[in-house]
C-alpha cells in the first residue's frame, strides 16, 4: 500500500478543522504586538492558523482566539484590516506568479494573440482580462473561453497588467496549462472566495 504523503497539519483556531497547513492562513505577532498575516508562512515565532475563509478570520478576532493562542500581549486587532492584509497578500502572490509565467514563456499577451490561441484550441488554463478592457473585446474573448472551456478572471487594470509584464498597457493575457497555471488558479480561487464574501 502506498502511503499518501501528508504535509504538516494545523488546526483552524475558529472552526477547529485540521488541515494541511498549506491550506490555512498563518498569523504571527510582530514584536510590537500587532497580529500580522504571514501568507508565505515564513515568519519566525509562534503561528496561529485559520482557514482561508473570511468568516473564520472574523470569528477568530471576535472570540479573541489570537490572544489566547499567542499567549502574549496582543494589540487589538481590526478584523477588516486583517482581511485586507490577506487579500493583498494573495494579490501579491498572483502578481508574482504572473511574473514567473512571463519569464517561463507560458503565457500569451495581448488580445489578438489570446484570441488566436483560443480559436486554435491551444492548451490554455486561464485567461485574465483587465477591469477596463473594451466591452466588445471582452465579449468576444468570453465567448471563446466559454467554448474551451478556459477559466476566465477579471483582475487589474490595463496599466497594472502592462507593468506586470514590463510592457505598455495590456488588456488580456492567457496562461498555458501547467504547474504555474495550477498555482495561479488555486490563488485565484482563494481570492474570489475572500472578495465575494466582502
Ligand atoms: Zn476555519
User: pLDDT tens digits for 2-29?
Assistant: 556 778 999 999 999 999 999 999 999 9
User: pLDDT tens digits for 174-192?
Assistant: 999 999 999 999 999 999 8
pLDDT of residue 43: 95
- CA 64 to ligand 1 center in whole angstroms: 14
- CA 20 to ligand 1 center in whole angstroms: 12
- CA 184 to ligand 1 center in whole angstroms: 22
User: What integer is the mean pLDDT of 164-177?
Assistant: 90
pLDDT band at 198 (very low <50, low <70, confident <90, very high): very low
| C-alpha 68: how far from chain center | 28
- CA 11 to ligand 1 center in whole angstroms: 8
User: pLDDT tens digits for 55-106?
Assistant: 999 999 999 999 888 988 889 999 999 999 999 999 999 999 998 988 887 8
pLDDT of residue 116: 95
Per the CB < 8 A criterion, the answer to whether 145 and 134 are in contact is no
Q: Is the pLDDT of residue 33 over 50?
A: yes
- CA 179 to ligand 1 center in whole angstroms: 27
- CA 75 to ligand 1 center in whole angstroms: 22
**To the nearest whole percent, how much of the chain has pLDDT over 70?**
96
pLDDT band at 121 (very low <50, low <70, confident <90, very high): confident
Domains annotated for the chain, with CATH where assigned, are: 9-80 (3.30.1230.10), 88-196 (3.30.1330.30)
Q: Residue with C-alpha cell 480559436? A: 119
- CA 107 to ligand 1 center in whole angstroms: 35
Instruction: Give the mean pLDDT of the chain.
Output: 91
- Burial annotation 151-163 (CB, 10 A radius, 16+ → b, else e): bbbebbebeebbe
Amino acid at each position: 500500500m502506498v502511503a499518501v504523503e501528508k504535509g504538516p497539519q494545523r488546526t483552524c483556531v475558529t472552526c477547529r478543522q485540521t488541515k494541511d497547513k498549506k491550506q490555512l492562513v498563518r498569523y504571527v505577532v510582530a514584536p510590537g504586538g500587532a497580529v500580522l498575516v504571514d501568507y508565505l508562512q515564513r515568519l519566525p515565532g509562534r503561528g496561529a492558523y485559520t482557514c482561508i475563509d473570511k468568516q473564520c478570520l472574523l470569528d477568530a478576532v471576535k472570540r479573541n482566539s489570537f490572544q489566547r493562542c499567542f499567549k502574549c500581549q496582543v494589540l487589538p486587532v481590526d478584523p477588516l484590516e486583517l482581511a485586507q492584509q490577506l487579500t493583498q497578500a494573495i494579490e501579491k502572490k498572483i502578481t508574482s506568479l504572473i511574473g514567473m509565467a512571463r519569464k517561463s514563456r507560458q503565457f500569451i499577451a495581448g488580445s489578438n494573440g489570446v484570441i488566436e490561441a483560443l480559436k486554435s484550441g491551444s492548451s490554455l488554463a486561464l485567461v485574465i482580462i483587465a477591469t477596463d478592457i473594451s466591452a466588445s473585446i471582452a465579449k468576444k474573448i468570453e465567448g471563446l473561453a466559454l467554448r474551451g472551456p478556459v477559466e476566465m478572471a477579471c483582475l487589474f487594470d490595463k496599466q497594472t497588467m502592462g507593468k506586470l509584464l514590463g510592457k505598455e498597457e495590456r488588456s488580456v493575457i492567457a496562461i498555458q496549462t501547467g504547474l504555474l497555471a495550477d498555482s495561479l488558479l488555486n490563488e485565484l480561487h482563494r481570492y474570489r472566495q475572500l472578495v465575494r464574501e466582502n
